[in-house]
A and B are shown apart, each in its own frame.
Chain A
């Protein structure tokens, strides 16, 4: 290696170190007792390995992460499946059919992507109160499903347009109805795209904090992200427990990312770079 190449490698790995240290710190803090890390997790003497913090937050009296995990999962899974089904139908319509005001409608839906969550939340709060959906998982599922629609529609419509239309025409001639063409031909052909979307939407819902903060009020309904700040005291922060809770919280999206990395990045990049 030339001297320049060595230099590049040193710089690159130093940058990598800067990026990894906070994760490393939080991980080490989560597996050691509070007394050992309160003045720095990098002091390695004494070093006691313990999972006490994990069991403490997992079985916490008021905010058990165990329950929060169940809540998060019960919300994130339906809030991934529903919008994919609903949005893919709409996306197919935009990709394959022609109808009046199609372009305008599509642009409007794309524009909705830039709306901040905050702009809908007050009326949604009123609406959910009136429908008795405050403090219910169903309310949050509906909201997440709706809010996820625009980007899924955009992404899938772009994907559907790359599929060969002859295959769908062949199916129609072979006797399939519009719905059969969609469910038996288009959906199975779109599995890679659906994997990208499922990974991103699931993580998006799992990671959301704001909607849950407003709509879920009682601790037994809290999702994981909502529970984390509860471990931060006003004056004293038990870093061991906060760290353990954070590790548990991020482990789920990290696993999704690790399993579907290729599709995940495609999803982030998707629609942005065409040809």
Chain B
């Protein structure tokens, strides 16, 4: 029918590109994770053995150290989860507080722009900045530590197994808070002023207004912020690559980095394992996205 020809024409280029460079590779990767690879050639069906190999590797899941409740390296999978657990709540809450706080501050717009810069600059530069501030000699973090008389603790924080991961996570809060703050700011603007005025007339204090009116009304924003932050924390790559390369001794490694090592760094490449890692990663992101989607639809 004539009426269906135009939509098809309009859609065709987009669909072709998505099929070739997104959907087909995605399906290929998922299927490939169940195959046996020798270099670029498929040499048989692997079943779940790639997954067993990957999950059994201490790079991904360091069961021994986990059971002993030791610090990193705990395996990239655990590092990703720690990243979510620490960074997401911190940058979300901080973003909300800043959005509320900076509303009444002179020059708040400027401060907001500065905080948002973390979302504008390349993540590679973000990684450089983190490596720089944590440097033993040239880093400003250690200068502050010396200033408050704790000089003996000064060190390159990203170079020590017990602090590398956590210092990167805290640094990523610095980078990502701008996102949550900007979304919350826009959300605050969309709440009608009369609601706050009504609450004030009803006798609510500042904190109660924040807790009983602002926070619930921003719930849709919170869902979006949480979703995006979790997805980013799962996909994190550039920062770690530049700041620590996952080191020392895998103490700050993440899934995306482990996948890169196996497919494009180590020789010969282990595509089976790399595809299994990235399928696990994708399952987590997609699963989370679907979970949130259903939460919103409800």
Contacts and interface: CB of A to CB of B under 8 A. Distances in A.
In the complex, A touching B, CB below 8 Å? yes
Interface of A: 5, 8-9, 11-13, 15-16, 18-23, 25-26, 29, 37-42, 86-87, 89-90, 92-93, 97-100, 102, 105, 109, 111-112, 114-127, 142-143, 145-147, 149-150, 153, 178, 182, 203, 206-210, 213-214, 224-225, 228-229, 232, 237, 239, 242-243, 246, 249-250, 253-254, 257, 261, 264-265, 268-269, 272-273, 275
A41 B140 CA distance: 8
Nearest to B5: A178
B125 A246 contact: yes
Contacts of A209: 122-124, 237-238, 241-242
B116 to A, nearest CB: 8
Interface string B9-47: 011011101101111111011101000000010000000
Given A20-B114, A86-B13, A269-B182, A120 B21 contact: yes
Contacts of A109: 18
Contact of A153 (B14, B23, B30): B14
A99 B7 contact: yes
B278 A119 contact: yes
B114 A16 contact: yes
Interface in B147-203: 174, 179, 182-183, 186-187, 190
Given A39-B137, A229-B241, A265-B182, A207 B114 contact: no
Contacts of B104: 5, 8
Contact of A116 (B101, B105, B137, B285): B285
Give me the 3 closest cross-chain CB pairs, A-B, nearest first: A123-B25, A146-B21, A90-B14
Contacts of B183: 268-269, 272-273
B278 A228 contact: no
Interface of B: 3-4, 6-8, 10-11, 13-15, 17-18, 20-26, 28-30, 32, 40, 98, 101-102, 104-108, 110-111, 113-125, 128-129, 131-133, 135, 137-138, 140, 143, 174, 179, 182-183, 186-187, 190, 220-221, 224, 231, 234-235, 237-238, 241-242, 256, 259-260, 263-264, 271, 274-275, 278-279, 281-282, 285-286, 288-289
A119 B101 contact: no
5 contacts: A8-B105, A42-B143, A123-B28, A203-B120, A228-B125
Given A147-B21, A209-B237, A209-B238, 12 more contacts: A12-B111, A19-B114, A20-B114, A23-B129, A89-B11, A99-B8, A118-B281, A119-B25, A119-B29, A120-B22, A122-B29, A272-B224
A93 B235 contact: no
A274 to B, nearest CB: 9
A89 B10 contact: yes
Nearest to B118: A19
Given A116-B285, A120-B29, A269-B183, A9 B106 contact: yes
Given A116-B256, A142-B21, A246-B125, A268 B137 contact: no
B275 A122 contact: yes
Contacts, number: 270
A253 B238 contact: no
B221 A273 contact: yes
Nearest to A109: B18
Given A25-B132, A243-B132, A254-B121, A122 B271 contact: yes
Query: Which interface residue of B101, B264, B278 has the most chain A CB atoms within 10 A?
Result: B278
Contact of A38 (B102, B137, B220): B137
Contact of B285 (A114, A203, A253): A114
B138 A22 contact: no
A83 to B, nearest CB: 8
Given A5-B104, A122-B263, A90 B20 contact: no
B12 to A, nearest CB: 9
Contact of A114 (B133, B220, B286): B286
